[in-house]
Amino acid sequence: MKDLQIYEAYCQNKPRSESLWRQCSDCAFFQECQKKLEHKLGLDSYLLKPVQRITKYQLLLKEMLKYSKGCDGCDDLQEALSSILGILKAVNDSMHLIAITGYEGNLSELGRLLMQGSFSVWTEHKKGHAKVKDLARFKPMQRHLFLHQKALLFCKRREENGEGYEKAPSYSFKHSLSMSAVGITENAKGDNKKFEIWCNSREEVFIVQAPTPEIKTAWVNEIRKVLTQQLKACRGIVKTSSLTFPELCDKDRPHFSPFALFFVCVLNFSLSDFPIIQPTGWNKVSLSADASEENDGYSSGEDPMNSDPEDEVGKKLVSLRMKNYYRSVFLFLF
């Protein structure tokens, strides 16, 4: 299937080849070649063939599958169809990607393009203790979103006038969010088509409305997958290295979501990190950051009424130290 990936590069170059053909179509050389070969169609028609062909593969495979249920090789046909559909998606996404204008960075550095689509978007941000919404408070912005492995781009779709590929829309870059600094709220405003993307402890919030609930679910799942992969990668680094927390967050090292780093700290927490008394009989500690003041954020395997007073003091010291630890980590990140 790697050989078929050349279609992606070919389709990306199609607008340029079409533009060049319009400049050279009256050239005597091309006309003479067409005459000698007795071709009724011009060179531009043959340049279009690969683009048409890539879309026909899936139709042929679907037709073959229709008449091959239960037969040998049916699984291979299904695998081939899945592969060709993946290539078609990559081709389609890349055609949108090359139409982005105004982005000053290198798009290839953002990682693989995972999804792209048009949405209605509202924004709000905090100013002091108050939330400030955009001037068009009740009117959403129409934005085309590009979800990469490392960033989410917000663009404005612009329709172009012209012929052929020159009539294809372009996308004016407006804003980007690093995937290492975002969080999501899966259900927003009681609408099954809306979700929230936010960063900096919700100082900047984007309320995104998808055309359908299904599209919203697909995007939320993909964003969640990216954040989960960050968490796993971050945990792997913590387990296989002796880096301190500030070193892990150093800007020159691979950057992970603050949420990933915070939960790694929680999941990799060990009492040995705290050089204080570890009372005997103390079986477990609640890792909840929202522990109530009533039990000082811990839970014991023993009945507190029957515990030794020194044990109780030790438990409270551990609980207080844990609270200070998580508070400092949270403030460091957010």
Residue 213 lies in a domain: yes
Residue 260 lies in a domain: no
DSSP three-state, residue 312: helix
Task: Measure the CA–CA gap between 158 and 57, rounded to whole angstroms.
Answer: 31
What are 85's two structure tokens? 């559909």
Are 230 and 114 in a shared domain? yes
The most confident of the ranges 184-188, 242-246, 318-322 is 184-188
What is the model's pLDDT at position 139?
Answer: 82
Residue 258 lies in a domain: no
Amino acid at 217: T
What is the model's pLDDT at position 226?
Answer: 93
Amino acid at 322: M
Are 218 and 281 in a shared domain? no
Are 44 and 143 in a shared domain? no
Asked which of 43, 73, 98 is the last residue of a domain, the reply is 98
Pairing of strands 170-178, 100-101: parallel
Nearest to 328 by CA among 249, 219, 256: 249
From residue 147, how far is each of 62, 309, 325 by CA, in Å?
29, 56, 34
Domain count, the chain: 3
Are 288 and 205 in a shared domain? no
- CATH assignment at residue 167: 2.30.29.30
Higher-pLDDT residue of 266 and 73 is: 73
Q: Which domain holds residue 64?
A: 2-98
What is the model's pLDDT at position 296?
Answer: 36
pLDDT tens string 8-26: 888 888 888 888 998 888 8
The count of other CB atoms within 10 Å of the CB of residue 5 is 13
Give me the percent of the chain exceeding a pLDDT of 70.
63
- Start-end of H helices in the chain: 6-24, 28-37, 43-66, 74-97, 213-240, 245-248, 258-267, 309-333
Residue 279 lies in a domain: yes
Are 290 and 187 in a shared domain? no
Q: Which pLDDT band holds residue 300 (cuts at 50, 70, 90)?
A: very low
Are 176 and 144 in a shared domain? yes
